[in-house]
Amino acid sequence: MQFNFSNKSIVITGGSTGIGLAIAEQFANLGGNVSICGRSQDKLIKAQKYLRQKGHQIHCAAVDVSQRQQVFDYAEAVEREFGQLDIWINNAAVCPYYKIIETPEDVWDNTLNINLKSIYLGALVAREKMARRGGVMINAVSFATLMPSVGSGLYAATKSAVASMTKTLAAELAPFRIRVNGYIPGVINTEMAQPAIEKNGEKMREVIAMNHFGEPGDVANAVVFLASEYASYITGSFIEISGGKFCVQNPTAAWQ
């Protein structure tokens, strides 16, 4: 397969670190016009510097993806920069580590806004900006939608809602030639996953058939496929990138 995203404009929310940054780098490697956003200006500057050292010039902006006006202003800025908007990747998310019954209300509200409302706003942008040309929206889901954990139940609940919205939006946006899919990472070596890895790393590895954690680039490769013409008849679907997590009850038995 030859992937080429020249003349394509790609937005990655939460694109300054981890999986989002890896996705941005991969699209840039493949000729895409890339824009990333995030809430931290410092992280955006660091990401831009990193990609510049790799030979890529990208557009970036500080955006709160839960705020409608900021999201639409950002979409307008991307259009001015690149002339169009073709691919919108809803990668931004937060994962507070609380039991549901111990979650502070302000944390609850912020998590729903960042993880869930942002998908709604991204869909509104896609409907407005991609309807003439068609396009792609891709949503970050999570293995937590398949099997939630005590201590991050709110995150799992929001990601389950994102999975449901992905299917519904695939149908609602199909008349506008906009495909909507999702990606389901397992345990990926990112800043977000570090607290869990540091606390329970060995136990987490034991349930993965491949017996190691994934890297952000593993997810980026799957996202690139979903955004490409090779996936032109795929919508309302999900790719799991988990190394075979819980594909059987006893994956360590194969290594003994």
Catalytic positions, written as ranges = 155
Cβ partners under 8 Å of residue 61, min gap 6 = 35, 37, 44, 74, 77
**Strand, coil or helix: what is 215?**
coil
DSSP secondary structure code for residue 179 in this structure: E
| Residue pair 65/92 in contact by the 8 Å Cβ criterion | yes
Residue type at position 133: R
Q: Give the count of beta carbons closer than 10 Å to the beta carbon of residue 104.
A: 10
120 vs 137: CA distance, rounded Å: 11
DSSP H or E run through 99? none
Residue type at position 132: R
250 vs 145: CA distance, rounded Å: 21
| Residue pair 222/241 in contact by the 8 Å Cβ criterion | yes
Q: What are the b/e assignments for 32-59, b being 16+ CB within 10 Å? A: bbbbbbbbeeebbeebbebbeeeebebb
